[in-house]
Amino acid sequence: MKNSLTGYWNEDRWDLRECPLESSNELKQAKHLKNRWINFGNIKNTWIKTELKFFYYYKLINDEWKPGTVWIRKGTVINNLISFLSKKYPNITSIVAEEFSEVKDVKGDLIEEVYQGTKGGEVVGYTIKTTPKGYGGKVEVMVGISNDGKISGVKIGNHSETPGLGSKSADPSFKDQYNGKSTKTPLNIVKGNASNENDIVAISGATITSKAVTAGVNAAMDVYEQKLISINGTGE
């Protein structure tokens, strides 16, 4: 699966009659087909919207769903999505949350959006979107933080980093280094090998991008420590 969606797949509103897959040919003949749209535009959480797109994309290109039969019950879609994400991000906060709500008036350096995840009425963590400046411009960095003050996952969203270099920031070999890190200690970028618990090994040839992503993660950690803990009494 690709790291980013382009063309038809990148749009927020998919007309399944225009799906580029051969399996949609029959739909293209049905000019008056009802319920042919998949509309992602109303999903405000960028992380969830991107993952839901990938979910549909993955199912379609692997021939697990046909374009004409994707209109299954919403509950089934969500359950399948959670199963899909739990394999991709085993520890991500978003997997265990039942509901998300945006946390207003919690802004900080590089912070764009903050969402609180709850389950059974209890706070289980946060998803925080940051936009540090990389080599080619802003990089969307989504950071999951569990209520025990640990990084539960990092996802790279839209960016203009160099293909084959900075774009590797989306690879598990780089971004998974953040998993499990404590929010209490800022992270540092190092070259070669990590010698301290808070070290993150830079991508070879893409130190600027590596530092940008780490700046985004540090910004999320800081807003969690300085503001979110006091709001809900989470953490130690």
Query: What distance in Å separates the CA atoms of residue 208 and residue 161, rounded to the nearest whole number?
Result: 10
For residue 192, which phi and psi values (nearest 5 degrees)?
A: 90, -110
Q: Which of 42-56, 116-130, 143-157 has the lowest mean pLDDT?
A: 42-56
Query: What distance in Å separates the CA atoms of residue 81 and residue 77, rounded to the nearest whole number?
Result: 6
Whole-prediction pTM: 0.63
Query: What distance in Å separates the CA atoms of residue 221 and residue 235, rounded to the nearest whole number?
Result: 12
Tell me: the pLDDT tens digits for 68-108?
666 544 445 655 665 565 555 544 444 456 677 888 878 77
Q: Which two tokens stand for residue 189?
A: 């970028």
Which residues have a Cβ under 8 Å from the Cβ of 72 and sit 6 or more positions away? none
Task: Show me where the domains of the chain are located.
Answer: 7-88, 99-232
135: enclosing H helix or E strand: none
User: Mean pLDDT score of the chain, rounded to an integer?
Assistant: 79
